[in-house]
Structure 1
Amino acid sequence: MKRKELIILFWISMGTSLFFFFAFTDEKTIENFFLTVLISCMYSFVLGVGNGLINEFLNKRFPWSEATTKRAIISIISILIANIILVHFCNYMNFVVFQKAATTQEYFSGRYNFTNWFTINIALLISTFLHAKGFMEELKKTSRKEVVEQKLIAKSANAQFESLKNQLDPHFLFNSLNVLSSLIDENPTQAQKFTASMSKIYRYVLEQKDKELVTIEDEIEFAKTYCDLLKTRFEDSVNFIFDVKDEDLRRFVVPLSLQLLLENCIKHNLATSSKPLLIKIFTEGDTLCIENNLQIREQMKESAGIGLANIVQRYSLLTDKNVFIEKSEDYFKVKLPVLSEKPNTEKIDIQSQDKAYDRAKKRVKEIKGFYGNLISYCAVIPFLIFVNFYTQNNYYWFWWPLLGWGVGVASHAFQVFGIGTSWQEKKIREIMDKQKK
């Protein structure tokens, strides 16, 4: 235990000893005062340190954040057993060893059963408070940790997305300059036209590369302009077919995705006037498809893999929909998922945070309600027992509230920690996770 906690126990011992000395001690002597202090310190430190060590041990072995239900059950069992043992030990030392008010045989004959029972309930009340305090502290730490982790994940995803987008600028420029370099030697006139068109296209690249999504209409217009550049270089060796439905034009795709895929088609396939390369761009269901006939070119060097990999990664950061690739002996097709509306990332994050906060708030409220019920039980039942023994010794009516309320507390515990709604939700998530695998 920490030094601060030991100091608190010492001051509790002193306060308790002064109360009992002046309120219940008939002979107010120095010997009796020190005896009262010794007995108070024994109860405070044995029960306080014992429960504190148990709580610390359970925090290390069974943290609240990792095994809430298991920890709750183990806590209840351990504090019951530990407090029964510690209270019997303290009462034995008090009445048999220090005060010499009874012999060992008299103590275990049942004469002090009520005293033991009353003290055990007081100890359970204190122990419950310690465990509830430990739970709340653990909950605060876990909440802070989760918030920090979510912020780091968000920052990491944003940095990754920005890094992927920044690949587009130099990638497009590098490939365009390669085309221009080839045209200068092959056809200087076409090279001039290519340079003029390239400036327009590069302006679009600079405008769109910082956006998460663009309309299919904008992407198709850009792709057509880019196809004109490719036609400038390859002439009849490459043909393009656009067949996009009008109702799909206002939907969204990742920017510059068509340009990257068109580059891939040219890069990995042979294109000659006798065996032209045919590239089709069309919509199919909820996807935008880019398909070409296979005329695989032998690669002189390994591809950098920026194009398709870049698109797949950007989609994975924006949506759960996947990019599909189909390949046969005759054709190669890439299916890009199209979205009906732009996802408002900020709004989604806020909504998910609000839902998580509401769930956490509801959970904390349920657990606080249980501990409030348990603390009330531990406080009221000993008082009822005292009233029963003080007013009527023949009829032990305290058993009825003790057992009735005890069953209610037990069912409350199972509802909160074991077989309530949270348990059902947990099982549902487990089943869904198994089905996904």
Structure 2
Amino acid sequence: MSYYVNDKWVRITGITLLVVAALAVDDFYRQPLTGVVFVKFLIDVGSTIATWHLNRTIILRFKARFPKNSEQLKRLSATFLTSTLSSTALSWCLRVLDYWATKGTLTQFFEEDHAMSFTINNWTLRLYVYSFDFLYGIQCAIFFMSVYGILFFIKDSSAYRNRLKQAEKEREELRAAHLQSQLDALKQHVNPHFLFNSLNSLSSLISEDPKQAELFVDKLSEVYRYLLRSNQQHLTTLETELQFINAYYHLLQTRYGAALQLDVAVHESYFPYQLPPLSLQLLVENAVKHNVASVKHPLHIQITVDRQARLLVSNTLQRKASRVLSNGVGLTNIIAKYQMLSLPQPIIEETEAQFIVMLPLIA
């Protein structure tokens, strides 16, 4: 695993400024331009570039290794220690090269004291051991960790804002899809054809079976009440959907009689699970719309839940001879809802005898 930060121009600017600063404070560069001065300049430029990229690599490696906020202290400690030791070792190698390039010998290099020491109450802390300048390494670690800490903050803040924008965009898309779903539901259900069939069935029942007619009116009002209520929510419980589909099935059975059979076998432990509203109704209506239903060859629809918490809606496949014109609602509507909710997509299977749709349920 790697961690990337776009710091190209930060490196170019930072290395340039560090080289300029070195030129400004080093009296050696005020001497006449000679080959030795030029070689020292090249070594200093290479030292700055190497030190920057060494610390950059260390910081990014530990950032990738300890990415969680809970690991921040471990990451900072490991980065600081590794950066200090690595910068110290690199600095030692480059100072040896610089000393040899400018003086032509290393005879007195190990005898000179180049670094600071601190004396407190006659106790001296030397940050220079065997020619290794640990103070320089500490300074490098603090400097580069500060620079990249700021870059990480900027990057994470930008990523957080982008996530917020993406979430807002998805919410708007979901809202638009939901509004379209409302319109589709009203177009499909609250239309003269549906109402005409329902009133015809009711009319015949009033004279033949008044009690059945009264029950039909109750179920019809229940269906319309649920249709209107479903327009105000993205998800509903499986129990609510099953209660609605029973009422809807009652209306269909009044019309089709024994030609239509619905078998619901869902354990009550799955009742609290959720799914987009009207999913079952769309699947049942699709089955009725596209298949032949007769007393001799009844259309059998089954609703179950498998062990993977998927709602299985299957129907016997006996397609009508003349293909029914579809208005694009139904399966397309359901799949769009699942996509907008970032849920696993429904699975559609068709065999010689059955048409099956598997809808993932949300725990």
TM-score range, shorter chain: 0.5 to 0.7
Match of 1:201 among 223, 227, 233: 223
Alignment partner of 1:181 is 2:193? yes
1:229 CA drift (Å): 3.6
1:171 and 2:184 correspond: yes
Normalised TM-score (structure 2): 0.61
Aligned match of 1:64:
60
* TM-aligned CA deviation for residue 295 of structure 1: 0.9
> Which string of whole-angstrom CA distances, capped at 9 and with x for unpartnered residues, describes residues 228-278 of structure 1?
343455455433333444454444333211112112212332234543322
Q: Distance in 2 between matches of 1:60 and 1:268?
A: 64
Report how far residue 293 of structure 1 moved: 0.8
Mapped contact 1:64–1:139 kept (Cα < 8 A): no
Q: Give the distance between the partners of 2:351 and 2:60, measured in 1 at CA.
A: 54
Question: d(CA) in 2 for partners of 1:317 and 1:283?
Answer: 23
Q: Secondary structure at the match of 2:352?
A: coil
1:112 corresponding residue in structure 2: 109
Select 2:148's aligned residue among 120, 135, 146: 135
Corresponding residue SS for 1:64? helix
- Find the residue that maps to 2:60 and give its secondary structure: coil
Change (3 A) 1:300 1:287: closer
Counterparts in 2 of 1:329 and 1:62: CA distance versus 1, 3 Å:
farther
Q: Which amino acid aligns with 1:253?
A: L
Contact kept in structure 2, 1:79 and 1:124, CA below 8 Å: yes
Residue aligning to 1:83: 91
Question: Within 2, Cα distance between the matches of 1:274 and 1:79?
Answer: 87
Contact residue 52 and residue 144 of structure 2 kept, 8 A: no
Given the superposition, is the C-alpha separation of residues 62 and 230 from structure 1 closer, same or farther in structure 2, using an over 3 Å criterion?
Answer: farther
Work out the CA distance in 1 between the residues paired with 2:342 and 2:256: 36
- Give, in angstroms, the shift of residue 326 of structure 1: 4.3
Specify which structure has the higher proportion of strand: 2
Q: Which residue of 1 aligns with 2:172?
A: 159
Q: CA 1:229 to 1:56, structure 2 compared with 1: closer, same or farther past 3 Å?
A: farther
Q: CA RMSD in A?
A: 4.9
1:6 counterpart = 2:22? no
Please give the alpha-carbon distance, in whole angstroms, between the structure 2 residues aligned to 1:65 and 1:260. 52
2:311 is aligned with 1:288: yes
| Counterpart pick for 1:263 among 261, 274, 285 | 285
The letter for the 1-side match of 2:181 is L
The change in CA–CA distance for 1:147 and 1:114 in structure 2 (over 3 A counts) is farther
> 2:13 is aligned with what amino acid?
K
1:69-99 Cα distance to aligned partner (Å, 9 max, x none): 7xx8x989985786346424554576x4xxx
**Aligned-partner SS, 1:227:** helix
Q: Distance in 2 between matches of 1:304 and 1:86?
A: 76
TM normalised by structure 1 equals: 0.52
Contact 1:287 1:338 in 2 (8 A): yes
Amino acid at match of 1:83: S
Equivalent residues of 1:323, 1:335 under 8 A apart:
yes
The one-letter code matched in structure 2 to 1:53 is: I
Partner of 1:278: 300
Which residue is 1:239 aligned to? 261
- The question of whether the paired residues in 2 share the 8 Å contact of 1:65 and 1:139 is answered with no
Between stretches 241-250 and 195-204, larger displacement belongs to: 195-204
Aligned-partner SS, 2:330:
helix
Q: What is the distance in 1 between the residues matched to 2:278 and 2:349?
A: 21
Q: Which amino acid aligns with 2:193?
A: S
**Residue pair 1:9, 1:45 contacting (<8 A) in 2 also:** no
| 2:274 paired residue number | 252
Contact 2:58 2:83 in 1 (8 A): no
Q: C-alpha separation between the residues in 1 aligned to 2:23 and 2:344?
A: 62
Does the 8 Å contact 2:316/2:355 carry over to 1?
yes
Superposed CA deviations along residues 195-252 of structure 1, whole A, max 9, x for unmatched, are 9976753442332244343233321221122223434554554333334444544443
- For the pair 1:333 / 2:333, whether they are aligned, the reply is no
2:243 is equivalent to residue 221 of structure 1:
yes
CA change 1:162–1:299 in 2 (3 A) is farther
Residues 216/38 of structure 1: CA separation in 2 closer, same or farther (3 Å cut): same
1:172 Cα offset (Å)? 1.8
Q: Does structure 2 retain, via aligned residues, the 8 Å contact 1:293–1:331? A: yes
Q: How does 1:324-403 map to 2 (within 5 A)?
A: 324-340=347-363
Output the CA distance in 2 between the equivalents of 1:65 and 1:154.
30
- Distance in 2 of aligned mates of 1:45 and 1:199: 89
Contact 1:87 1:119 in 2 (8 A): no
What's the CA shift string for 1:290-346, capped at 9, x where partnerless?
A: 221111236757756543344345446668666444432222233334455xxxxxx
Shift of 1:3: 8.0
Whichever residue aligns with residue 87 of structure 1, its letter is R
Tell me the SS of whatever aligns to 2:277. Answer: coil
Instruction: Provide closer, same or farther for how the CA distance between residues 5 and 140 of structure 1 changes in structure 2, counting only shifts above 3 A.
Output: farther
CA distance in structure 2 between the aligned counterparts of 1:59 and 1:306, rounded to whole angstroms:
58
Conserved? CA contact 1:278–1:292, under 8 Å: yes
Residue in structure 2 matched with residue 408 of structure 1 by the alignment: none
Give 5+ residue unaligned stretches, structure 1: 18-34, 97-103, 341-437
Contact 1:52 1:130 in 2 (8 A): no
